[in-house]
Amino acid sequence: MDMQEGRERRQHPRAMVSWPVIIKSTRGFMSGETKDVSYGGAFIRCREPLKPKEVLEVSISVSLLCPRVQVTAEVMWSNSSAPDDELTPRGMGIRFTNIAGTDQELISALVADRLQRESLDPSEISSTV
């Protein structure tokens, strides 16, 4: 969210998903977890978020049944001074800058499915599972 203007700047809807990630940057490797994902980016919860404008390679494990999704991304913002709790998880918002077409399609399909499930009435979910 753009704090100065109080408006949402995201271009794509985000789905709440927790997918393990491995991040490769100039600092080396670190692990993290997505908290939300969209067609164009994600929020990654991690102990030591990178600084804005840093470029990183992210390997996302979207499912045990699929190979990892490989993405090049840019850090758009980070909250390295956050307390790292459930209300304010420490992490960084990333924008995908390079992703294979098949990986993009997979993320898009999984996000769309999750968003559809999130919008269903709880009684509808139990009947569709």
Q: How far is 16 from 122, CA to CA, in rounded Å?
A: 16
Do the domain assignments include residue 119?
no
Structural domain includes residue 126: no
Residues 36 and 17: beta-carbon distance below 8 Å:
yes
Q: Tell me if 123 is assigned to some domain.
A: no
In a domain, 96, yes or no: yes
What does pTM read for this prediction?
Answer: 0.80
Nearest to 62 by CA among 116, 102, 12: 102
Domain that holds residue 71: 15-112
* Residue 125 belongs to a domain: no
pLDDT digits (tens, 9 = 90+) for 1-59: 444 443 445 566 789 999 999 999 999 999 999 999 998 999 999 999 999 999 999 99
The CA distance from 128 to 22, in Å, is 33
Task: Report the domain count for the chain.
Answer: 1
CATH classification of the domain holding 65: 2.40.10.220
- Answer whether residue 2 is part of any domain: no
95 found inside a domain: yes
